[in-house]
């Protein structure tokens, strides 16, 4: 798959990478059900516009710090479907050499500095990457994705304050899917409009429809321009919805009507396809689908036969 230019991604680019995330995660889910993938699996199906829109505005050098729900972020930032498949299958060819698993993806070359098993764990690290960029004056940005649940960790508030004082290129992206595990955002959060939070810390911010990849991209582009101009940190507030349960295939206690509404009326793939019926014709979409699926299938097939991490090497490198 070709990567379109960062400056002006096409509708095709957006569609392709959102579909790549969706189909990759559907594949991961299948593998999980088959017990080929073990451990925790937090799917982001339904949320694809957030990572694709944001990461399309970034360059490889910018450093992204992700969450426990990181597959979409990883694929959008790195385009490395092979690395993620192999990682979740526990292979030595995985992006964390098979040592990390779903929550601990890593790809330095492509600026992905880690999934995180701790809610809020990556937020202050992204501030560190922003500081590093400022320190080295290399024009890069430190980016953190965080959920509506993570927004209630004290570390977010401390980090926003410090980022504002330091005026470093720190981008905080709130991926508000309305729920944290089983707790609805209204129950966990006194002020759900994070732009107000940003304002309290004198940080510029924008809200956008997290189901509309172009809207996300437009907001992220403004943020990136602001950051690269050295104008201090920025916060994006994006509303989205995860379609799958919190983790794996556990039962979902949310209102099914609400979920159906999101699936029918706010599917990021339909939103963009509906906007460009000619550019994204059904033939082109089918072709993209075939290409994406072929790449995913090949990645899985390759991972299935790839070697596991070597025990001897593990012992040597970690002194165990």
Partner 1 sequence: MKKMMYISAVTEALAEEMERDESVFVIGEDVDIDGGVWNETAGLLERFGAKRVVGTPISEGAFTGLAAGAALTGLRPVVEFMYGDFIHVAMDQVANQIAKARLMFGGQAKMPVVIRLCACGAGTREGAQHSQFLESWFAHLPGFVVVAPSNAADGKGLMKSAIRSDLPVVFVESRQIYYDIQDVPEGEYTVPIGKAEILRPGEQVTLLSFGYACEKARQAAEMVKDKVDVEVIDLRTLKPLDTETIFKSVEKTGRLIVAHDSPAMCSIGAEVVRRVVAERFDYLDAPPVVVASKDVPIPFNDELEDYTVLSVQDIVDEIMKISVGII
Ligand X SMILES: Cc1ncc(C[n+]2csc(CCOP(=O)(O)OP(=O)(O)O)c2C)c(N)n1
Nearer to ligand X, 82 or 148 (CB): 148
Under the binding rule (CB under 6 A), the answer on residue 301 touching ligand X is: no
Q: Which of 107, 124, 144, 177 binds Mg ion (CB under 5 A)?
A: 177
Nearer to partner 1, 103 or 215 (CB): 103
Under the binding rule (CB under 5 A), the answer on residue 19 touching Mg ion is: no
Chosen from partner 1, ligand X, Mg ion, none, partner binding at 188 (C-beta under 5 to 8 Å by type): partner 1
Nearer to ligand X, 245 or 289 (CB): 245
Residue pair 47/177 in contact (Cβ under 8 Å)? The answer is yes
Distance CA 49, CA 46 (A): 8
Mark the segment that binds Mg ion (CB under 5 A) among 97-105, 142-150, 155-163, 298-306. 142-150
Q: Which of 81, 180, 197, 223 binds ligand X (CB under 6 A)?
A: 180
- Please state whether beta strands 63-65 and 183-184 pair in parallel, antiparallel, or not at all (unpaired): unpaired
Distance CA 171, CA 96 (A): 25
Distance CA 311, CA 105 (A): 20
Nearer to Mg ion, 51 or 147 (CB): 147
Token duo for residue 220: 């992220």
Q: Which of 81, 95, 150, 296 binds ligand X (CB under 6 A)?
A: 150
Under the binding rule (CB under 6 A), the answer on residue 148 touching ligand X is: yes
Q: How far is the CB of 120 from partner 1 (least distance, A)?
A: 7
Under the binding rule (CB under 6 A), the answer on residue 76 touching ligand X is: no
The residues, ordered by sequence, that sit 6+ positions from 304 with a Cβ below 8 Å of its Cβ are: 89
Nearer to partner 1, 53 or 115 (CB): 115
Chosen from Mg ion, partner 1, ligand X, none, partner binding at 69 (C-beta under 5 to 8 Å by type): ligand X
Chosen from Mg ion, ligand X, partner 1, none, partner binding at 101 (C-beta under 5 to 8 Å by type): partner 1
Binding site for ligand X (CB under 6 A): 67-69, 117-119, 147-150, 177, 179-181, 246
């Amino acid at each position: 798959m070709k990567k379109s230019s960062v400056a002006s991604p096409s509708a095709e680019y957006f569609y392709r990478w959102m579909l790549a995330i969706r189909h990759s995660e559907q594949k991961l889910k299948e593998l999980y059900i088959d017990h080929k993938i073990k451990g925790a699996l937090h799917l982001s199906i339904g949320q694809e516009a957030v990572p694709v829109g944001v990461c399309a505005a970034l360059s490889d050098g910018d450093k992204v710090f992700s969450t426990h729900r990181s597959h979409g972020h990883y694929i959008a930032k790195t385009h490395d479907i092979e690395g993620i498949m192999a990682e979740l299958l526990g292979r030595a060819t995985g992006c964390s050499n098979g040592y990390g698993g779903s929550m601990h993806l890593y790809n330095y070359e492509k600026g992905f500095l880690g999934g995180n098993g701790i809610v809020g764990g990556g937020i202050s690290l992204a501030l560190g990457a922003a500081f590093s960029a400022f320190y080295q004056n290399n024009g890069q940005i430190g980016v953190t994705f965080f959920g509506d649940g993570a927004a209630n960790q004290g570390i977010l508030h401390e980090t926003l304050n410090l980022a504002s004082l330091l005026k470093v290129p720190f981008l905080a992206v709130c991926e508000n899917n309305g729920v944290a595990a089983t707790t609805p955002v209204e129950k966990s959060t006194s002020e759900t409009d994070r732009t107000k939070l940003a304002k309290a810390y004198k940080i510029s911010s924008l809200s956008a429809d997290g189901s509309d990849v172009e809207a996300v991209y437009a907001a992220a582009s403004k943020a990136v321009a602001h950051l690269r101009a050295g104008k201090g940190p920025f916060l994006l507030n994006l509303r989205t919805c995860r379609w799958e349960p919190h983790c794996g295939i556990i039962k979902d206690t949310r209102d099914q009507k609400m979920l159906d509404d999101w699936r029918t009326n706010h599917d990021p793939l339909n939103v963009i396809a509906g906007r460009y019926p000619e550019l994204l014709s059904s033939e082109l979409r089918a072709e993209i689908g075939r290409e994406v699926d072929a790449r995913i299938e090949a990645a899985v097939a390759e991972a299935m036969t790839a070697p596991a991490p070597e025990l001897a090497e593990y012992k040597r490198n970690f002194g165990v």
